[in-house]
A and B are shown apart, each in its own frame.
Chain A
């Protein structure tokens, strides 16, 4: 596609349920990022994938959060046993390679009730 695509755009889930958020980066982009934007706060780095290298998971807030990137393209962010504090907009971004412009998707708004 023309841009970074994320699905779903909105997700409401019950506390304790697992959720999966999907990101389709721009075709050919080797770098993929996940960020979280909580209400009234800036973007918080979660995880970074670059090519076939081991991902940088240093931003994941707990072991309930995990992400994978299959075939170097699509990425899935999984949150297990969701909590209310997980409510936020989850943004995915990609770039052609390191040191090039980063393009953001429109995000998935997650609400845990």
Chain B
């Protein structure tokens, strides 16, 4: 089974500051990688995904993530956050789209 580690359970950051949410996974085979966002009282939304090709993936709301195979990482970044980015972010991996393995989530708290 896959294992996904999100090292930070909570990340406080001031508005307009840059942010990086870390994600590492354990796998010796090719995987698909995802970031989902869950706003308060809402369901999960796909933020971005890596399937193949360029290792830098751009998603919605100005987020991007970089796939690093040697470090088995897929960190999420945004150069300047907004109050509206306050949410919980989940990293996920899948080998076959049949099962997705999720990290425990990182709560991003953007302060004014």
Q: Residues on A close to B: CB < 8 A? A: 3-4, 31, 33, 35, 40-45, 48, 50, 56, 58-59, 91, 93, 95, 98-107
Contact = CB atoms under 8 A, between A and B. Distances in A.
Interface in B43-64: 43-46, 49
B43 A106 contact: yes
Contacts of A40: 9, 104
Contacts of B92: 43
24 contacts: A31-B97, A35-B100, A35-B102, A41-B104, A42-B102, A42-B105, A43-B90, A43-B100, A44-B102, A45-B99, A45-B100, A56-B98, A56-B99, A58-B99, A91-B44, A98-B96, A99-B97, A101-B49, A102-B46, A102-B100, A103-B46, A104-B44, A104-B45, A106-B41
A98 B97 contact: yes
Interface residues of B, number: 23
Contacts, number: 55
A98 B97 CA distance: 6
Nearest to A41: B104
Contact of B98 (A43, A50, A104, A105): A50
A107 B99 CA distance: 18
A42 B90 contact: yes
Interface of B: 4, 6, 9, 36, 41-46, 49, 90, 92, 96-105
Contacts of A103: 46
A93 B92 CA distance: 14
Nearest to A40: B104
Contacts of A31: 97
Given A93-B44, A102-B100, 5 more contacts: A43-B102, A50-B98, A101-B46, A104-B36, A104-B43
